[in-house]
A and B are shown apart, each in its own frame.
Chain A
Amino acid sequence: DTEVTQTPKHLVMGMTNKKSLKCEQHMGHRAMYWYKQKAKKPPELMFVYSYEKLSINESVPSRFSPECPNSSLLNLHLHALQPEDSALYLCASSHVAIEVTDTQYFGPGTRLTVL
């Protein structure tokens, strides 16, 4: 199984809502990532988890709160978002890089619209 799944596929939320994005993989990967991608732009790294611990936070606003409850699951909790947070949110996973060479496997993404 080389698949990363993400739910939901689409999400529309108001600025006062609280919602969560979910990501799951069963490839035995111990590194998991959240990226944000705006239209016609490259993905921008948000967070990296390594062995279920947050290892990189790219200065993301606190209205985005990641969580890695176990080695297969990655969540992104959303609260008080702004319309400019509307984007495609991509999850990825990989083996923890020892020689910094490992391939990342991406999920299909969640299309988020903030009204």
Chain B
Amino acid sequence: SQQGEEDPQALSIQEGENATMNCSYKTSINNLQWYRQNSGRGLVHLILIRSNEREKHSGRLRVTLDTSKKSSSLLITASRAADTASYFCGKKTSYDKVIFGPGTSLSVIP
């Protein structure tokens, strides 16, 4: 099965609100990566968090990692219509392999 499961599957919010997406995984990881995908396009890397890190920030993005619960969360603050996309977490397994979870579809309503 896929490593990394996201919830919620779909999220709809008003522009300016915060959006939180969660990702759980089953086995130990070296790192966990978050990607964004606009409809029908390629994935864009957002943030990578290593297993020995607890929190990382990039602009309006904040990622946390709780290895005891095997879970991570992605927070997007002050959302914009342009944030509308699907968001995937990916577990970096062996050497060059990233396994993606099912993703969260985010809609930001202007």
Contacts and interface: CB of A to CB of B under 8 A. Distances in A.
Interface in B56-110: 88, 92, 94-103, 105
B interface residue count range (under 10 / 10 to 19 / 20 to 34 / 35 or more): 20 to 34
Contact of A55 (B45, B92, B96, B103): B96
Contact of A104 (B31, B41, B45): B45
Interface in B12-57: 30-31, 33, 35, 40-45, 48, 50
A31 B48 contact: no
B65 to A, nearest CB: 14
Contacts of B88: 42-43
A101 B97 contact: no
A90 B44 CA distance: 12
Nearest to A6: B42
Contacts of A41: 102-103
A103 B48 contact: yes
A102 B96 CA distance: 8
Contact of B98 (A50, A88, A96, A104): A104
Contacts of A48: 96-97
Contacts of B99: 45
A94 interface: yes
Contacts of A88: 40
Interface in A58-114: 88, 90, 92, 94, 96-97, 99-109, 111
Contact of B42 (A4, A50, A100): A4
B96 A56 contact: yes
23 contacts: A31-B96, A40-B105, A42-B2, A42-B100, A42-B101, A43-B88, A43-B100, A44-B100, A45-B98, A45-B99, A50-B95, A97-B96, A100-B31, A100-B95, A100-B96, A101-B31, A102-B96, A103-B48, A104-B43, A106-B43, A106-B44, A109-B41, A111-B40
Interface of A: 4, 31, 33, 40-45, 48, 50, 55-56, 88, 90, 92, 94, 96-97, 99-109, 111
Shortest beta-carbon contacts, A-B, top 3: A106-B42, A42-B100, A106-B43
